[in-house]
Amino acid sequence: MTLNKKIYLSLIGLLSLGLLVLLIFGITHSCLPTKNPTLTKRPSLTQQQEIENQIKLEQAKIQELQQKDHQLKTQIEENVKTLTDIITKIKTLQTELTNNPQLPSTIKTQKQQQLTELKNQQQTQQTLVNNLIEQRKALNQNQKEKQKELEKLAQEKAQLQTQENLQQQISHLNQALNYVEANQKRIEELKTQKEYRKNQTELKNLNDFQLFLTDQKLAFEKQKKNLQTQLNNLKENKPLPNTKKQVTFKDVYGMESEKEELEDLLTYFQTNQSLINFDQVRPKGYLLYGPPGTGKTFFIKALCGETNVHFINLIPSKFRQKYIGEGEKEVEKVWQEAENHDKTIIFIDEIEGLENRNDSNISSGGVNVINTLLDKLDGFNSSNKKIVLMGATNNLHKIDSALRIRFSKEIYIGHLKDSEIEGYLKHIIVPYQISYHTFLALKDITQLCQGKNLSNRYLTTIIEEAYKKTAKWAQQNPETHEVMLPSDIEEVLQLKLKTKPNHQQVKKRRAACENQ
């Protein structure tokens, strides 16, 4: 091999080695983990944080302006005092010159010079005071503008917080809807399995729960739609819609016969009656009576929602006034409000609280209120407005007899029948997330409630209190207690019925429900 060839091959080898080193260096350095830019980069502030920072800045500016205002106020007060002293001296000199015309000319000249100097000082001082006042006016205007900016920022912050709350509620509803849909899918899968197809009881339970989930899904979707409308309106600076839920008869569980009792009233409000002399028999008032907590007030609110009438809700204490004559004026105000609408229901809850003229202890003011009320009821025939008085009472016998006979109809609202309790529980539990086992447990809960004359309000309270327990345990055990479990309802009911087992038994039952 020639020397040149050896040198050539050596150069080729060195070059290859160099390239290999560079390649290894490049590979190793490219594979090294780099810092995550999201970790080194300062996170961008949210819009709400930016507003909060702006609020702090504006508050600091306002505080600074207030300090300057205080300083200016002090300066003005000091300079006004100096100006007042100068004016006092001027008046004193003028008085001396006026009252002593015989003063020697030298003294007189001297005092006139002093007077001229004081007037010059007055002018200078007045200019200074005026300038300070103008500065303070400008400062106050600046303060007002800053305060407006601060109020605007506070409104923006509140609006963003409302948006955040709405978004959070929508997010929670989406999770709830996902839970419902997952349950619906699981039910469909179970219904195809042999052991469920053969077991008619289990199949019925699955079908019942599926129907419940369908109702729940519709309720959640409606709620989500309302929240989304609110959120969109907020973002577009549109007025918020009235989101107060209007109660109708669909929201009233059962009470079919009671609803039928009000058919004539529904017809009266919903149609224009052309029958001759119908005004002589048209409805004047309806009185709902029965034990407390049975849903009388809710029933009347549902009636108002069904007929879309103006609703005036009163309590007897409104007519108990300190001075004679004030009670009758309150009655007049109520009727005047009713006359301003085409259709009105005036509802007096606990109407037995109005004074009874058969009571020997009745006051003259109470008598006047009842008499005025009777006059108004008797005057219904002369009004072209559809006004109906409705009352609710737990003590029918305590109502003034003349007032009682003015009602066109008395409707009894009693406790739920034992056969209605399970359906009522399923009706009121729709807004809450529950498990399949909780749905099945409502049968057992029903059996515990039967034969005790428990009111609608009592049963509603049990479910509401149970859901509060769910919130508590879901916070502590989110993996195993994400929805209402049978133990939540049982714990509340046992406490109310005073049959609560010991602490260990309660914990054991809760753990069993969490592991179902």
Of 83, 106, 135, the residue at which a domain comes to its end is 135
The CATH number covering residue 502 comes to 1.10.8
Query: pTM, whole model, 2 decimals?
Result: 0.74
User: Do 371 and 317 share a structural domain?
Assistant: yes
215-219 long-range contacts, Cβ below 8 Å, gap at least 24?
215/430, 216/180, 216/430, 217/177, 217/180, 217/181, 217/184, 219/430, 219/431
Rounded to whole angstroms, how far apart are CA atoms 190 and 481?
Answer: 23
Contact 403, 374 (CB under 8 A): yes
CA 268 – CA 387 distance, rounded (Å): 10
Q: Assess whether 339 and 472 both reside in one domain.
A: no
Instruction: Please tell me whether residues 275 and 340 are part of one structural domain.
Output: yes
> In this structure, are residues 506 and 491 in contact, taking their beta carbons and an 8 Å threshold?
yes
Asked which of 369, 389, 412 is the last residue of a domain, the reply is 412
143 vs 137: CA distance, rounded Å: 10
Domain match, 292 and 369 both: yes
Residue 348, beta-bridge partner list: 314, 391
Task: Using alpha carbons only, give the angle 43, 151, 231 rounded to the nearest 5 degrees.
Answer: 65
Alpha-carbon distance values, 129 to 73, 75, 115, 117, 142 (Å) = 11, 9, 20, 18, 20
Over its length of 516 residues, how does the chain's per-residue pLDDT go in tens digits?
554 444 444 545 544 555 444 444 343 333 333 333 333 333 345 788 888 888 899 899 999 999 999 999 999 999 999 999 999 999 998 888 888 888 888 888 898 898 899 989 999 999 999 999 999 999 999 999 999 999 999 988 888 888 899 999 999 999 999 999 999 999 999 999 888 888 999 999 999 999 999 999 999 999 999 999 999 998 888 887 666 778 889 999 999 999 999 888 888 888 776 667 666 667 778 999 999 999 999 999 999 988 889 999 988 877 776 566 777 888 888 888 988 999 999 999 999 988 888 776 777 777 888 888 888 777 765 667 888 999 999 999 999 888 898 888 999 999 999 999 999 999 999 999 999 999 999 999 999 999 999 999 999 999 999 999 999 999 999 899 999 999 999 999 999 988 888 899 999 999 999 998
Report phi then psi at 361, rounded to 5: -95, 10
Q: What is the distance between the alpha carbons of residues 55 and 158, in angstroms, rounded to a whole number?
A: 12
Quote the number of domains for the chain. Answer: 4
Contact residues for 108 (Cβ-Cβ < 8 A; gap 6+): 97
What is the CATH classification number for the domain harbouring 301?
Answer: 3.40.50.300
Tell me the CB-side half-sphere exposure of residue 440, using CA atoms within 13 A.
Answer: 12
My answer on whether 305 and 391 are in the same domain is yes
Strand partners, 265: none
Q: Is 402 exposed, middle or buried (0-12, 13-18, 19+ CB in 10 A)?
A: middle
Whether residue 111 sits in one domain with residue 60: yes
What's the confidence (pLDDT) of residue 410?
A: 93
Q: Domain of 115?
A: 49-135
Same domain for 399 and 441, yes or no, is no
109 with 85, same domain: the answer is: yes
Identify whether residues 7 and 90 lie together within a single domain: no
- Which element (helix H / strand E) includes 69? helix 47-99
Q: Is 232 exposed, middle or buried (0-12, 13-18, 19+ CB in 10 A)?
A: exposed
Co-location of 315 and 389 in the same domain:
yes
* In a domain? residue 160: no
Residues 346/387, Cβ–Cβ less than 8 Å? yes
Instruction: Tell me the CA distances in angstroms from 116 to 130, 158, 184, 261, 274, one per residue in order.
Output: 21, 62, 101, 99, 96
* Same domain for 446 and 408: no
